[in-house]
Structure 1
Amino acid sequence: MGATDTREHIVEAADRLFYENGYAATSFADIAAAVGLSRGNFYYHFKTKDELLGAVIARRLASTEAMLAAWEEGASSPVARIRRFIDILVMNRAKIIAYGCPVGTLCEELAKLDHAAQDDAAAIFGAYRGWLAGEFAALGRAADADSLALHVLMRSQGIATLATAFHDEAIIHREVAALTAWLAAEVGEASRPTPTAPQRPS
């Protein structure tokens, strides 16, 4: 295995362990064991855990951006693309119930630690926010696109948090259906023509 492949395997393992166990609770030894490296070989690739955290965040951001780009190519309309985002909760429901939202839990932990990388982690939410706002703008809602994007993000995080807290998959299915219905109502408002005032007879 080449040095580049080894580094990628380290970042992949760290990404999984940071998600499942938390950043603070995961040690270099845990990650080295997961990859099957000696401590010496591990330190060749990453000198500090903060450096490794930066690589994990960069990996997650790149993965998010690639997924959003794929949605742009694979879905025919802004509504269908927004639904792809909402449906992430259903697709990842088992992991969410076990460990929470990977982005939300990392941002929350780094904020509690007052870690220097917390803004970098929040950039993943920023990518979703900007993308969702762009989709709402494409629906003719440019004036409130950012507010709508934040609404979807906040509801999604609330769903994930409560599903994790109660270990209840039904919360995800019920609230995703409600969020999808809300989106349909917003789309209906966006697609209807603006009524014109009746003309007075001259």
Structure 2
Amino acid sequence: MSKKATRDEIIAAADDLFYRQGFEKTSFADIAGVVNISRGNFYHHFKTKDEILDAVIEKRLADRQAMMEKWEIEGETPEDRIRSFIDILIVNGEKIKRYGCPIGTLTSELAKLNHAAQGEANKLFTVFRTWLKRQFEMLGREDDADELAMHLLARSQGAATLANAYQDDAFIARELESMYAWLSGCAAGANKRERAEM
């Protein structure tokens, strides 16, 4: 296996373990065990757990960027693309019910630890906020696009947290329908403004 392939495998294993077990509870030995490499070989790639954390955050940012690029290609309208964001609760539903939101759990843990990487981890929310704001602007909601983006981020985080706490599929289904209806209302509001300005 090439040096880059081994490094990528370590990052992928750490990403999964940080999500399932938490950053603090995951040891070098845990990650090395999943990748099936010696500790010496492990240290050849990463000297500290913080270095691995930085690489995991970088990977998560790249993964989210790629996901949003896919939504851009697949979604014909801003409303379609924003729906794709809401659909994360379906796509990752079982994992969210078991472990919570991968971004929310990491940022919360790093905040509790007062960890230096907290600011970097917050970029994971910022990348969604920026993207959602742009979609709401394209939807015709330039004046309150950032407010709408933050509202949807907060609502999806709340739904993910309660999905994890209560394991209630009916609740998740109701929340999704409510978010879809809210989004349709945002789009309808933009259309009314457009007609009024003509």
Q: What TM-score, normalized to structure 1? A: 0.95
SS of the counterpart of 2:87? helix
Stretches of structure 2 that go unaligned for 5 or more consecutive residues are: none
CA contact (8 A) 1:89 1:160 kept: yes
Deviation at 1:38, TM superposition (A): 0.7
Q: Does 1:135 align with 2:135?
A: yes
Q: CA deviation at 1:88?
A: 0.6
Could you give the per-residue CA deviations for residues 64-109 of structure 1, whole angstroms, max 9, x where no partner exists? 0111111111111100000000001011110000000000000000
Counterpart of 2:34 in structure 1: which amino acid?
A: A
> How far apart are the structure 1 equivalents of 2:128 and 2:82?
10
Equivalence for 1:200:
none
What displacement does 1:195 show? Answer: 3.8
Q: CA deviation at 1:194?
A: 4.9
C-alpha distance in 2 between matches for 1:160 and 1:70? 22
Could you report, residue by residue, the CA deviation over 1:140-195 in whole angstroms, capped at 9, with x for unpaired residues?
Answer: 11111000000000000000000101122222111011011001111111112454
Q: Which residue of 1 aligns with 2:177?
A: 177
TM-score (norm 2): 0.97
1:4 aligns with 4
Residue segments in structure 1 that go unaligned for 5+ positions in a row: 197-202
Aligned partners of 1:41 and 1:129: how far apart in 2? 39
CA distance in 2, matches of 1:147, 1:163: 24
In structure 1, the residue matched to 2:31 is: 31
Q: Which amino acid aligns with 1:169?
A: D
Rg: which structure is higher?
1
Q: Distance in 2 between matches of 1:6 and 1:91?
A: 28
Q: Which amino acid aligns with 1:38?
A: S
**1:181-196 paired onto structure 2 within 5 Å:** 181-192=181-192, 193-195=194-196
For residues 56 and 45 of structure 1, what CA distance do their matches in structure 2 show? 13
Which position in structure 1 is the counterpart of 2:112? 112
Match of 2:47 in 1: 47
Alignment of 1:93-112 (within 5 A): 93-112=93-112
Percent identity over paired residues: 54
Please give the alpha-carbon distance, in whole angstroms, between the structure 2 residues aligned to 1:168 and 1:115: 33
Distance 1:40 1:115 in 2: 26
- Compute the RMSD of aligned alpha carbons: 1.0
CA distance in 2, matches of 1:102, 1:174: 22
Residues in 1 aligned to 2:23 and 2:196: alpha-carbon distance in whole angstroms: 54
Matches within 5 A, 1:121-132: 121-132=121-132
- Provide the rounded CA distance (Å) in 1 between the counterparts of 2:171 and 2:29: 37
Which structure's residues are more often helix, by fraction?
Answer: 2
Higher mean C-alpha displacement, 23-32 vs 169-178: 169-178
Residue equivalent to 1:199: none
Alignment check: 8 A CA contact 1:93 1:169 kept: no
Question: How big is the shift at 1:125?
Answer: 0.5
Counterpart of 1:75 in structure 2 is 75
- Number of residues of Structure 1 aligned to a counterpart in Structure 2: 196
Q: C-alpha separation between the residues in 1 aligned to 2:137 and 2:53?
A: 34
